């Protein structure tokens, strides 16, 4: 396409995600968090972790938060604490990030993929009900891109069939369904604090959230060599701890999470105004009872690859979340799925594009991105 080589008028360099605004804003607070850990001379399982766990539990409206090494390990330890393993089936959405599926595989259980609602991109409760077998032990809804799943229906199905629910809350910190915050519905839930997530550390980090004391205690043991009392190993555990430095950084960032989320919502509003009715573009649809934390702003078009190239040529960064659905990944070839088995997940993989979104993104930048998208469709 010749026109994609032409640059449109304004000179842009807009990345898909930019940390500079928040890092400038938080620099002094982050440096004092560093100093506090440095001078404590204590780096693993100390007071900074306990503080962050307490603060995050308050934020997430649960009784317990247990910090762990990352989001994938959080999901895995949640499943392990529930004693899910070989012979069990766990229902996961067919269009999730691979980590949800990997967590199930680590336990020896079988991931059962279920198609999402083509409007919200979140797991479709009707399809969950159809996938339940006598082996089913749990459902893992994923609040994809930042929008809360239809948790009332998910919890009702789980209750009826006596299944556990483990929310994958890696992308939706602070989102709600029917006014209730994600990460507080399931029996035990996993959250990621990967740097690019809405609440991000300066390295890898994650946590489980739960109201169940016994499950929280079990994860505390599992993350630390299966031991609650030093050198006394009750379980075959792991080294999957969240360190003091990351915990201290996360305490700083947690205070800014909701103001940053409000900025994401504002940016999304700007996009909705600028991109309404442009080409065949599909903008995010929000379920009437859900809120969206806009971890990502994902648009869809049949011309996705051309649009991505055009934006790239014009200095606008984008990403695809996710280009290959789990059932078509080589790692899962043994499950025997073929192209066509999950048509909604495949369609989403072929048409989705994440456009720039970060707290601190300016109105002028949003307008410039939208202008580039409009000129792509005009030139087509």
Ligand X SMILES: *Cc1c(COP(=O)(O)O)cnc(C)c1O
Q: Nearer to ligand X by C-beta: 189 or 318?
A: 189
Going from the C-alpha of 142 to that of each of 122, 150, 153, 203, 342, the distances in angstroms are 7, 10, 14, 22, 17
Nearest distance from C-beta of residue 97 to ligand X, angstroms: 4
Question: Shortest approach of ligand X to residue 377 CB, angstroms?
Answer: 29
| DSSP result, 261-286 | HHHHHHHHHHHHHHHTT-TT-BPPP-
Residues 118/342, Cβ–Cβ less than 8 Å: no
Cα–Cα dist 376/85, whole Å: 49
Q: Which is nearer to ligand X, 80 or 365 (CB)?
A: 80
Q: Which helix (H) or strand (E) holds 75?
A: helix 71-81
CB 116 within 8 A of CB 346: no
Q: Least separation, in Å, of the C-beta of 138 and ligand X?
A: 15
136-139 and 164-165: which strand pairing? parallel
Say if residue 322 is preceded by a cis peptide, omega within 30 of 0. Answer: yes
Q: Quick one: 171 or 314, whose CB is closer to ligand X?
A: 171
Which residues make up the interface to ligand X (CB under 6 A)? 70-72, 96-97, 99-100, 142, 168, 170-171, 192, 194, 204, 206
Read off the tokens for 192: 């990621």
d(CA 235, CA 238): 9
Place of tokens 């909705």: 272
Please report how close the Cβ of residue 206 comes to ligand X at its closest, in angstroms: 5
- Judged by CB, which is closer to ligand X: 205, or 373? 205
* Smaller CB separation from ligand X, 70 or 261: 70
CB of 56 to ligand X, least distance (A): 15
C-alpha angle 155-156-160 in degrees, rounded to nearest 5:
115
Q: DSSP secondary structure string, 139-156?
A: E--B-GGGBPP-HHHHHH
CA pair distance 314, 297, nearest whole angstrom = 19
Q: Exposed (0-12), middle (13-18) or buried (19+): which is 198, by Cβ within 10 Å?
A: buried
For residues 201 and 368, which CB has a smaller minimum distance to ligand X in the complex?
A: 201
| Count of Cβ atoms closer than 10 Å to residue 312 Cβ | 12
Which is nearer to ligand X, 143 or 300 (by Cβ)?
A: 143
Contact 171, 146 (CB under 8 A): yes
Which residue number is nearest to ligand X in terms of Cβ? 71
Distance CA 147, CA 228 (A): 36
Q: How far is the CB of 148 from ligand X (least distance, A)?
A: 13
CB of 280 to ligand X, least distance (A): 27
What whole-number distance in Å separates Cα of residue 74 and Cα of residue 158? 21
Instruction: Rank residues 206 and 326 by Cβ distance to ligand X and give the closer one.
Output: 206
Closest approach of ligand X to the CB of residue 103, in Å: 8
Backbone phi, then psi, for 116, in 5-degree steps? -85, 170
Q: Which is nearer to ligand X, 168 or 243 (CB)?
A: 168
Kindly state the smallest distance separating residue 352's Cβ from ligand X, in Å: 14
**Smallest gap from residue 194 Cβ to ligand X (A):** 4
CB nearer to ligand X: pick between 171 and 184: 171
DSSP element (H, E) containing 98: helix 98-107
């Amino acid at each position: 396409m010749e026109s994609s080589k032409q640059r449109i008028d304004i000179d842009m360099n807009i990345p898909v995600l930019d940390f500079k605004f928040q890092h400038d804003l938080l620099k002094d607070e982050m440096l004092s968090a560093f100093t506090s850990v440095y001078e404590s001379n204590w780096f693993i399982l100390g007071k900074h972790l306990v503080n962050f766990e307490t603060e995050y539990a308050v934020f997430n409206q649960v009784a317990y938060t247990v910090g762990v090494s990352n989001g994938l390990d959080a999901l895995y330890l949640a499943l392990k604490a529930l004693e899910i393993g070989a012979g069990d089936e766990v229902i996961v959405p067919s269009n999730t990030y691979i980590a949800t599926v990997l967590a199930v595989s680590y336990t020896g259980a079988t991931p059962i993929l279920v198609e999402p609602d083509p409007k919200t991109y979140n797991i479709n409760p009707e399809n969950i009900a159809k996938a339940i077998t006598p082996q089913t032990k749990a459902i893992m809804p994923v609040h994809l891109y930042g929008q809360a799943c239809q948790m009332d229906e998910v919890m009702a199905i789980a209750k009826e069939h006596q299944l556990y629910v483990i929310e994958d809350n890696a992308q939706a910190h602070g989102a709600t369904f029917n006014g209730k915050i994600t990460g507080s519905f399931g029996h035990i839930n996993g959250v990621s604090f990967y740097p690019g997530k809405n609440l991000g550390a300066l390295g890898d980090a994650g946590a489980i959230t739960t109201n169940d004391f016994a499950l929280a205690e079990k994860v505390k043991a599992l993350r630390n060599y299966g031991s609650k009392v030093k050198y006394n190993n009750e379980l075959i555990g792991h080294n999957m701890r969240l360190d003091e430095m990351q915990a201290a950084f996360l305490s700083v960032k947690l205070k800014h999470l909701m103001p940053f989320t409000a900025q994401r919502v504002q940016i999304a509003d700007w996009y909705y105004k600028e991109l309404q009715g442009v080409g065949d573009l599909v903008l995010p649809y929000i379920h009437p009872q859900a809120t969206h934390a806009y971890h990502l702003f994902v648009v869809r078009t049949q011309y996705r690859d051309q649009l991505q190239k055009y934006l790239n040529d014009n200095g606008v960064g984008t990403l695809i979340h996710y280009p290959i659905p789990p059932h078509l990944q080589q790692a899962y070839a043994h499950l025997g799925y073929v192209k066509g088995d999950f048509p909604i997940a495949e369609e989403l993989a072929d048409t989705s594009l994440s456009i720039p979104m970060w707290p601190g993104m300016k109105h002028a930048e949003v307008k410039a991105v939208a202008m580039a998208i409009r000129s792509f469709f005009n030139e087509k």
